[in-house]
């Protein structure tokens, strides 16, 4: 079933029930729409686009911050048979130009936050972009863009009934990878449908659940986690804020039951509680049943501390990539809390293998490594992308015999659980030894004074690289370099940091540590961020 058909079914079955709620703490505003309104707005978007000449197979750039219009616009694009092209809100004007040109987009729907960036590139992207639709205050609208309200009113409320097959193309998602230009991940309607079943299978959402969505919707993580609620017609809250108070207020007032957090936000909640900046007694959180985390390695100490504060919470972690249609190709499973630290086991209908690089480079085949040995994680299943669009070389390097090579180093333990060791590109080589930053970061996070840490290699004439830790100390704490060096004596000698820098640790919108930024700032190595 197409995800647009799931939306139509939700409108038929749950039409007058609330589908989406938007909360904006900065403006102290709250909006909501029903499933009927959601479905109707998607139809209006589709018909208005079709009236402008958008047809099946065209591409429409979707450049918006999280808001209540985000999902109806996305579903409207899909109903035309065109491909949705959601872009990272942190992309520069050059990045937006690059992605728009790769997609050869015919239209762009954009919010007020992107006016300057679109203005900067308009003359260039005008080669293919014929229609600009603006969501934002009328007084800010560029002359060349049509107001969203007028655009919507021009579209009919009925389903345009474009013939779309489950095997048809649906979207281009550009990676926000660590180096190089963003790659265009080509997803099909089947990819999107499968992610609905996968997420619901993993987290058991029912129609009575309420999902709190905080991460950006352009990213497959946030949207595909919401899909688990969507497939059963359960509501969701789009929260435009990440402060602990905002999160707990939303959970309490909207009666949210499922919350997907990033590591920094979970840390911030625990720190705010520890410092008495917020109090649990001020909120009604009894219905909150599941907290899960993804997008980055999760320090076991964080979950241990979380369970002390929220002992009734189920917990899960999910691993995935844009190339796997988001999270879930590997997941811990709510029943495996004893294995926190591992990314888990193959997700529903997925296969996983940890393979030996030598087997691929020498024999041109993928062969698994032995037990407890490190190798590259490969996955295979219905969520694997169709290709890197217009990039056959990268596709051939990444998909081998149906296996997607993730670029992540992992190992398999004796119980069949997969442990993420590190990104292949982030490995530090010191004196000929391979050192994995994630293991050091996890160890340092056990220190009760540490709020965040990122570990990189620092150039060294003798050893090649030395381990360097950039450490953010909790606001209420003081720490010296000597104190942390002493703590790190619990690590094997060759992996201990030789250099410590106390500073903020930059993370992208999905919570991943931006290692290229750290390397550029502290070592002078310049890497293009995607």
The three-state DSSP-derived secondary structure of 158-192 is CCCCCCCCCCCEEEEEECCCCCCCCCEEEEEHHHH
214 vs 298: CA distance, rounded Å: 18
User: Above pLDDT 90, what percent of the chain?
Assistant: 72
Residue 472 sits in a domain whose CATH number is: 3.30.300.30
Q: Name the pLDDT band for 500 (thresholds 50, 70, 90).
A: very high
CA torsion, ordered 340, 346, 349, 354, to nearest 10 deg: 160
Where is pLDDT greater, at 252 or 514? 252
Looking at residue 529, what is its pLDDT? 36
| CA angle centred on 221, ends 74 and 521, rounded to 5° | 110
List of residues 6+ apart from 392 with CB closer than 8 A? none
DSSP H or E segment with residue 202: helix 189-203
CA 473 from centre of chain: 26
Residues 6+ apart with CB under 8 A from 74: 62, 84, 86, 217
Report yes or no on 248 lying in a domain.
no
Q: Per-residue pLDDT tens for 275-318? A: 999 999 999 999 999 999 876 667 788 899 999 999 999 999 99
- 329-388 confidence digits (pLDDT tens): 999 999 999 999 899 999 999 999 998 876 666 666 778 887 778 889 999 999 999 999
Q: Which token pair is 111?
A: 């919010």
| pLDDT band with cut points at 50, 70 and 90 for residue 476 | confident
CA-angle at 426, arms to 425 and 428, nearest 5°: 115
pLDDT higher than threshold 50 for residue 230: yes
Q: How many residues does the chain have?
A: 530
Paired residues of 459 in beta bridges: 465
In a domain, 486, yes or no: yes
Return the higher-pLDDT residue of 424 and 243: 243
Report which of residues 89 and 189 the model is more confident about. 189
CATH code of the domain containing 74: 3.40.50.12780
What domain range includes position 150? 35-193
Count CB atoms within 10 A of the CB of residue 73. Answer: 27
Whether 305 is covered by a domain: the verdict is: no
Distance CA 90, CA 107 (A): 20
User: What local confidence, expressed as pLDDT, does residue 149 receive?
Assistant: 97
Q: Is 498 exposed, middle or buried (0-12, 13-18, 19+ CB in 10 A)?
A: middle
Asked whether residue 527 carries a pLDDT value surpassing 60, the answer given is no
Q: Work out the average pLDDT over 494-502.
A: 89
Tell me what the mean pLDDT of segment 160-166 comes to: 97
* Lowest pLDDT segment from 292-306, 394-408, 483-497: 292-306
Out of 193, 214, 234, a domain closes at 193
Least confident of 18-32, 221-235, 290-304: 290-304
Share of residues in the chain with pLDDT > 70 (%): 93
Residue range 476-504: mean pLDDT, rounded: 90
Integer Cα distance of 258 and 277 in angstroms: 23
The confidence score (pLDDT) of residue 462 equals 60
Average pLDDT, the chain: 91
Does residue 2 surpass a pLDDT of 60? yes
pTM of the model: 0.84
pLDDT of residue 420: 81
Q: Is the pLDDT of residue 517 over 70?
A: yes
The H-assigned helical ranges of 379-461 are 392-398, 437-444
What is the SS3 assignment for 254? helix
Residue 528: per-residue pLDDT: 41
166 burial (CB, 10 Å; 0-12 / 13-18 / 19+) is middle
The single residue listed with the structure tokens 């299978």 is 201
* pLDDT score for 525: 63
Predicted local distance difference test score (pLDDT) of residue 434: 67
- Asked if residue 86 is part of any domain, the answer here is yes
Identify the band that residue 205 occupies on the pLDDT scale cut at 50, 70 and 90: very high
- Judged against a pLDDT cut of 50, whether residue 419 lies above it is answered with yes
Higher-confidence residue of 236 and 375: namely 236
Query: Which of 165, 193, 221 is the endpoint of a domain?
Result: 193
Phi, psi at 155, each rounded to 5°: -100, 140
Q: Check residue 308 and give its pLDDT.
A: 95
Of 167, 193, 219, which closes a domain? Answer: 193
Q: Which sign, positive or negative, has the C-alpha torsion 92, 95, 100, 101?
A: positive
Name which residue leads in pLDDT, 2 or 397: 2
Spatial distance between the Cα atoms of 219 and 266, rounded to a whole number of angstroms: 19
d(CA 24, CA 237): 11
Q: Is residue 443 predicted with pLDDT exceeding 80?
A: yes
User: Is 39 a residue whose pLDDT tops 70?
Assistant: yes
pLDDT of res. 432: 55
258 within a domain of the structure (yes/no): no
Q: Bridge-partner residues for 513, per DSSP?
A: 507
* Predicted confidence (pLDDT) at residue 178 exceeds the cutoff of 50: no
Which pLDDT tens digit goes with each residue over 102-155? 999 999 999 999 999 999 999 999 999 999 999 999 999 999 999 999 999 999
Residue 383 lies in a domain: no
Q: Is residue 275 part of a domain?
A: no
pLDDT of residue 128: 96
pLDDT at 364: 62
Count of structural domains within the chain: 2
- How high is the pLDDT of residue 196? 98
Contact 50, 79 (CB under 8 A): no
Per the domain annotation, does 439 fall within a domain? yes
Q: What is the DSSP letter of 334?
A: T
pLDDT score recorded for residue 52 = 97
């Amino acid at each position: 079933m197409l995800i647009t058909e799931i939306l139509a079914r939700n409108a038929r079955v749950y039409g007058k029930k609330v589908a989406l709620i938007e909360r904006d703490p900065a403006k102290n505003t709250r909006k909501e729409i029903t499933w009927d309104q959601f479905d109707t707005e998607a139809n209006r978007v589709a018909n208005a686009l079709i009236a402008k000449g958008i047809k099946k197979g065209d591409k429409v750039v979707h450049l918006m911050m999280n808001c209540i219009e985000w999902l109806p616009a996305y579903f409207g694009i899909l109903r035309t048979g065109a491909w949705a092209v959601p872009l990272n809100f942190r992309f520069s004007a050059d990045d937006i130009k690059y992605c728009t040109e790769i997609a050869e987009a015919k239209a762009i729907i954009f919010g007020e936050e992107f006016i300057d960036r679109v203005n900067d590139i308009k003359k260039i992207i005008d080669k293919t972009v014929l229609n600009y639709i603006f969501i934002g205050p009328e007084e800010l609208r560029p002359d060349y863009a049509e107001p969203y309200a007028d655009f919507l009113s021009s579209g009919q409320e009925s389903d345009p009934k474009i013939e779309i097959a489950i095997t048809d193309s649906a979207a281009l998602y550009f990676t926000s990878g660590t180096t190089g230009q963003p790659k265009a991940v080509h997803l099909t309607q089947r990819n999107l449908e499968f992610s609905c079943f996968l997420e619901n299978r993993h987290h058991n959402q029912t129609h009575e659940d309420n999902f709190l969505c905080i991460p950006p919707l352009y990213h497959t993580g946030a949207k595909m986690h919401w899909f688990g609620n969507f497939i059963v017609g359960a509501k969701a809250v789009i929260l435009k804020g990440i402060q602990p108070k905002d999160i707990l207020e939303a959970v309490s007032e909207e009666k949210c039951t499922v919350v997907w957090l990033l590591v920094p936000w979970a840390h911030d909640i625990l720190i705010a509680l520890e410092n008495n900046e917020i109090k649990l007694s001020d909120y009604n959180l009894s219905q909150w049943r599941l907290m899960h985390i993804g997008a980055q390695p999760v320090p076991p100490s964080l979950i241990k501390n979380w369970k002390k504060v929220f002992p009734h919470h189920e917990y899960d972690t999910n691993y995935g990539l844009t190339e796997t249609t988001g999270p879930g190709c590997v997941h811990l499973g709510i029943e495996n809390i004893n294995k926190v630290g591992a990314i888990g086991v193959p997700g529903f209908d997925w296969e996983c293998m940890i393979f030996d690089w030598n087997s691929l480079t020498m024999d041109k085949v993928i062969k698994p490594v032995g037990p407890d040995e490190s190798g590259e994680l490969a996955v295979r299943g219905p969520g694997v992308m169709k290709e890197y669009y217009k990039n056959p070389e990268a596709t051939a390097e990444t998909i081998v015999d149906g296996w997607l090579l993730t670029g992540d180093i992992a190992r398999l333990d004796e119980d069949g659980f997969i442990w993420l060791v590190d990104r292949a590109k982030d490995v530090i080589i010191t004196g000929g030894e391979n050192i994995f930053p994630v293991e050091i970061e996890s160890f340092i996070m056990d220190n009760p004074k540490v709020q965040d840490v990122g570990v990189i290699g620092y150039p060294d004439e003798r050893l090649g690289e030395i381990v360097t830790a950039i450490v953010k100390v909790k606001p209420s704490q003081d720490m010296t370099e000597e104190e942390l060096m002493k703590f790190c004596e619990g690590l094997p000698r060759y992996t201990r940091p030789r250099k410590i820098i106390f500073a903020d640790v930059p993370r992208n919108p999905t919570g991943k540590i931006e290692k290229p930024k750290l390397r550029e700032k502290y070592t002078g190595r310049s890497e293009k961020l995607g």
